[in-house]
Structure 1
């Protein structure tokens, strides 16, 4: 039996701790298990050996993932024009998906960072949040969610780093962090 998101709410996963994208992907997995449609748009992420790329293929046709970024880090103080172009492309895709396709769930992964790095203006994201149609759950992830974005959201979860093995020199591990 297909589930339903009902009205659909706006969720934000933010903070300096690990697990924001992972939480959103867990939501996508749960939704797929109930036959819901999920579209994930990843900002500032290009093809890197992320396990979720292969995992999402296994959830097809319920979950689709689009990456809108290069396979390198974005300089927050001086983003490359290509990073701005790719983020803009991703945001236009997000609007099209939200207002035309109207999936059950739309996840905008690293959207908060895209705003923080001045790739997408905060006002445009606030407008998107304001105009979200009923029946779509909208999830925004990434560090640095603005106060105004958090005020507009229905649910805000802050991931807080208490202890992390990166401090001991452990690199990102295949299947765990990537």
Structure 2
């Protein structure tokens, strides 16, 4: 069986949520899921809280609990993104997951915390049977060209624009 490469991108809400839904579906089939979050460090995300209760789900965060400067990222943010690539590389070598989600890796690319070349070289090393999901806004053309499935989330309206604060269980 050939594993699929999926990209969930676009400016609309739902990329991580879709990846979590796919993860839940895989877990329902007794598959093992690795969920690696780039640029996220908060322990208050619902997926972080539930991950401890789901035996076939491994969730790791490689980011701080703060916003990253697009114009001038802190060296620690760059180091943490590279740590994420190292974890991803290790998971590829171990070949113990059926599905891996690299959540917000596409944003880390856009912020230039990691390079497209580094990611493309790493993607060549993924196990052939592994399903891999990359999420985040601003997917580069190189990723879009090789993905088996590309889903672009398009925002039409978001409650936040109307002054509604982020809701627990909905946005985090």
TM-score, length-normalised on structure 1? 0.93
Where does residue 35 of structure 2 map in the other structure? 40
| CA distance in structure 1 between the aligned counterparts of 2:153 and 2:79, rounded to whole angstroms | 29
2:68–2:77 CA contact under 8 A, matched in 1: yes
| CA distance in structure 2 between the aligned counterparts of 1:74 and 1:82, rounded to whole angstroms | 10
Where does residue 165 of structure 1 map in the other structure? 159
Where does residue 133 of structure 2 map in the other structure? 139
Residue 49 of structure 2 is aligned to residue 54 of structure 1: yes
Number of equivalences: 172
SS at match of 2:52: helix
**Which residue of the other structure, out of 152, 159, 170, is the alignment partner of 2:146?**
152
Residue 75 of structure 2 is aligned to residue 68 of structure 1: no
Where does residue 22 of structure 2 map in the other structure? 27
| CA distance in structure 2 between the aligned counterparts of 1:102 and 1:124, rounded to whole angstroms | 22
Identify the range of structure 1 (129-138 vs 74-83) with the bigger mean alpha-carbon deviation: 129-138
2:43–2:49 CA contact under 8 A, matched in 1: no
Q: For 1:79-98, list aligned pairs within 5 A.
A: 79-98=73-92
- Any gaps of 5 or more consecutive residues in structure 2? none
**Which residue of the other structure, out of 3, 9, 14, is the alignment partner of 1:8?**
3
Root-mean-square deviation (CA, aligned residues, Å) is 1.0
Give the ranges of 4+ consecutive aligned residues of structure 1 lying more than 6 Å apart after TM superposition: none
**Which residue of the other structure, out of 97, 101, 114, is the alignment partner of 1:107?**
101
TM-score, length-normalised on structure 2? 0.97
| CA distance in structure 2 between the aligned counterparts of 1:102 and 1:128, rounded to whole angstroms | 17
